[in-house]
Structure 1
Amino acid sequence: MNDKYAPHIEELAKALDGIDHDDIKIELDKLIRFRVPLEEAKRTVLNKFSSKEAPEIKIKDISNAPKSFTLKGRITSVEKRNFVLKGETVDLYSGKILDETGVCLFTAWNDFCLNEGDIIRVHHAYMKLWNNRPELNFGQRSIVEKLPEDPSIPRTEQLFTQTKKIIEINSSDLLVSSQGIVTEMYHRDVTVKGKDTTIIEGVIADETGKLPFTSWVPMDGVDIGNAISFKAAHVRIFRGIPSLNFTHETSWELLPDNKCPFSKNKIMTHEPTSIPIASVLEKNGLFDAVVTGNIISVRPGSGLIERCPVCNRVVQNNVCRAHGTVEGVKDMRIKAILDDGTGAVYIMLNRELSETIYGRSMDEAENIIKLSLSKDAVYESMKRSLIGTYLTVRGNSSKSEFGTTIVARSVWVPEDDLLSRLESLLLKLPEDV
């Protein structure tokens, strides 16, 4: 058999773990000699030697998919990306695939020569959760066969757009339609694939909540305070927080005042109020959340630190995990745990907020270290000063395997006094206590 088929034999051998290479080679050679197309021949060999063919599922069922399955669908987008794995640059291919029941993201860990519009059947695919989204994956054990055109499979993912309120948009959504008020808006110049582009960023809100948005297309006539209705916005996830992306596929229109379903003035003037920390813990991420509680712990890593001048990571002994030996840039931060009785979250305060809450500047903190001759002096001082402090924190929350963290955008001491808080707590106690 021609050596050009060796990679295909190896691919089949990986998919058919335990089957002898020679047996695979004999069967494939037999089919090739009868002029069976290569992809069809591979599928036939796979079917013959598989003790149990993986069940074929639809995209709507991918959340509950078995460990290995087969799926048929149309590629609607694909792009090549690379990342560093164990010191080596590895290529992967990602995009979207749909069938008549839905659309989902996919990641291919090998080059299967996929193109936009291709209809494929993937054998031995598997599902992984990424940013809490079910994602189709196929790699070393997978076999991908390209199929002829099938009119039953849609050509556009816009058919699966859902209409939702802002607060209902979550990490499981890919395309959504909604309405809202533009509460923030600004332009920013970026470089995409070597081309300078101006994008629009901002925040859109309705009576239920708010989310950040990015528009990659002009939004002529739209300004802060305008109400808009949009269809087929892409939902992106960053650190568990959804954001809206307006592309050429997204349509939008300005809503006149008599068609706006909510009060513009109320939304524009609304200041977010504190919510129970338990409500934050229920979400994978929240945009612009406000919580109030007591600092019950100041965590190691607080105080004076040094950051990498390239990537901003915290460095130890002038060594960055990504860039090696560097000249660290001095900074200050507070890492703490905030508890309100319903739950607890980590909070992260940058230099400016740390100086405000700690009551000392970074220069003063450096003097504390010089006088004490201990690099932990500021951290110990922060613990003495801050534990028990009653604070309100405003920022974005995100959840990881280590817990939920709020990166503070602002922080302040609430105006309500201790007496009123005690009275509120006493009212919650049973009368017989």
Structure 2
Amino acid sequence: MSLDDAAEELASSLGVDKTEVKADLEKLVSYSVPMDEAKQSLRRKYGDAGGGDGGEAPSRTDVADVTPESGNVTVTARVLTVGKRSIRYEGEDQVIFEGELADETGGISYTAWTDFSLSPGDTITAGNAGVREWDGEPELNLGQSTTVTLEEEPLSVPHEIGGERDLIDLEPGDRGRTLEVRVLEVEERIIDGRDGETEIKSGVVGDETTRLPFTDWDPHGAITEGASVRLENVYVDEFRGVPSVNVTEFSTVEPATEVRVSDSGTELSVREAVAAGGVYDAVLTGNVIEVRDGSGLIQRCPECGRVVQNDQCRSHGQVDPEDDMRIKAILDDGTDTVTVILGRELTEEIYGGTLEDALDHARDAMDRDVIAEEIAETLEGREFSVRGALSVDEYGANLDATAFEESDEDPKARAETFLTEAEP
């Protein structure tokens, strides 16, 4: 539907001037608001209390048949999860309710712009629900023009009802999740938020399955280092390619019985880790086949910490750089490769001396590259086990190492296992 047709339709159903409606619609669309959302927003603005476009309610649709091109639909589904949070929409704070619905054919996420008093386990019929595309998938929008009816007969669905999950099962886009975790690291800091300077907490939480980063946008007193807590109504987004837990003003944070946290990371092949799109606490084992340029002695901008060349920072221009050490190595396990990045502390351990020792060595040799050359001789061709946070982006897969040690696995046994698994 063209913008002009949409404005004509809205003006007719709302009983307002088309020119005014079209101007508002053009403004919303120019801000990349999907057409269906823009139309619903204008219905709210002009006080439409009716049934959307003024026609009959759309016929019932199976969840599996809903697509971003479906327009408005009517679905009967079971409420799997319900989350609540505040977003900034059209310059104003808006409380939304969000989660997942499912019927016998499949599941779909939803956002409700009105409080329909949904609860996990409810079976509902949502009439005249809008559909938009979100992260490449269809999502239902339950707005003011949507009718929600509670059904007496519960719908049987092949999906878990309720938001309780282990950390390993979380994915970006999850809403209304409930977790029991231990706070492993936490720091308080001030950021520039949507309303100016905002105090938040951030850090790392863990359970028996894995560890993940978190942000508490409305600092809760119970979130302290070492505390075991139950977090209800959290949502999950992506941070450097891995799921990140978000606690909000609508989240419930309560003490929990002590949560056991595994001391080991998630052991994966490089191929599995890369295919996952990011793993916060991965353990990869393979051979270092190359120590890349940019290893050994490097220099960083004192303002932003970026690596500089010839005293020039891309963001701050001419600077007085600070010396540092790092290693960028290619790890290959036979399934794929990943770039492993080791910071100063691990690099000093491998080099066998401090930054100051390396600087003295380079001055004596009159060559800063001598440090990287020695490191390459130490690492290349040997097998190592690396633990850290793996992220995947358009530049490739990178693992920021927190632990790096020579593998004690039997190469022959591992090769036999690999060949066995590869057999058809």
Q: TM-score, normalised by structure 2?
A: 0.62
- AA paired with 1:180? E
Q: Which residue of 1 aligns with 2:88?
A: 78
Contact 1:187 1:198 in 2 (8 A): no
Q: Using a 3 Å threshold, how does the CA distance of structure 1 residues 289 and 429 change in structure 2: closer, same or farther?
A: closer
Q: Which residue of 1 aligns with 2:244?
A: 243
Alpha-carbon offset, residue 80 of structure 1: 8.3
In the TM superposition, 1:18-417 aligns within 5 A as 36-41=17-22, 65=68, 77-78=87-88, 102-103=109-110, 129=135, 149-150=144-145, 152=147, 162-173=163-174, 175-193=175-193, 199-217=200-218, 219-220=220-221, 227-256=228-257, 264=259, 267-268=260-261, 270-272=263-265, 274-414=267-407, 416=408
- AA paired with 2:263? H
Q: Using a 3 Å threshold, how does the CA distance of structure 1 residues 316 and 218 change in structure 2: closer, same or farther?
A: closer
Alpha-carbon offset, residue 182 of structure 1: 0.8
Contact 1:303 1:334 in 2 (8 A): yes
Q: Aligned partners of 1:221, 1:56: CA distance in 2, in Å?
A: 41
Q: Aligned partners of 1:240, 1:289: CA distance in 2, in Å?
A: 13
- AA paired with 1:234? Y
CA deviation map 1:400-430 (0-9, x unaligned): 122211111222234x27xx43355457768
Contact 1:63 1:134 in 2 (8 A): no
Q: Aligned partners of 1:303, 1:102: CA distance in 2, in Å?
A: 48
Contact 1:96 1:104 in 2 (8 A): no
Q: Using a 3 Å threshold, how does the CA distance of structure 1 residues 162 and 412 change in structure 2: closer, same or farther?
A: same
Q: Using a 3 Å threshold, how does the CA distance of structure 1 residues 328 and 319 change in structure 2: closer, same or farther?
A: same
Q: Aligned partners of 1:224, 1:367: CA distance in 2, in Å?
A: 40
Cα RMSD between the aligned structures?
4.7
Q: Which residue of 1 aligns with 2:31?
A: none
Unaligned runs of 5+ in 2: 27-33, 38-62, 74-84, 102-107, 115-130, 150-160
Q: Aligned partners of 2:383, 2:35: CA distance in 1, in Å?
A: 56
Q: Aligned partners of 1:340, 1:211: CA distance in 2, in Å?
A: 25
Q: How many positions carry a matched residue from both structures?
A: 334
Q: Aligned partners of 2:65, 2:298: CA distance in 1, in Å?
A: 45
Contact 2:164 2:179 in 1 (8 A): no
CA deviation map 1:137-160 (0-9, x unaligned): xxxxxxxxxxx9435389xxxxx9
CA deviation map 1:226-267 (0-9, x unaligned): 54433210213211111112111112333457xxxxxx4xx2
Contact 1:189 1:199 in 2 (8 A): yes
CA deviation map 1:238-297 (0-9, x unaligned): 11111112111112333457xxxxxx4xx2463336432232112111112222222111
Q: Aligned partners of 2:281, 2:269: CA distance in 1, in Å?
A: 14
Contact 1:183 1:268 in 2 (8 A): no
Q: Using a 3 Å threshold, how does the CA distance of structure 1 residues 405 and 41 change in structure 2: closer, same or farther?
A: closer
Contact 1:399 1:405 in 2 (8 A): yes
- AA paired with 1:150? S
Q: Percent identity?
A: 28
Contact 1:203 1:211 in 2 (8 A): yes
Alpha-carbon offset, residue 186 of structure 1: 3.4
Contact 2:266 2:283 in 1 (8 A): yes
- AA paired with 1:348? I
CA deviation map 1:87-121 (0-9, x unaligned): xxxxxx9999889974479xxxxxxxxxx97xxxx
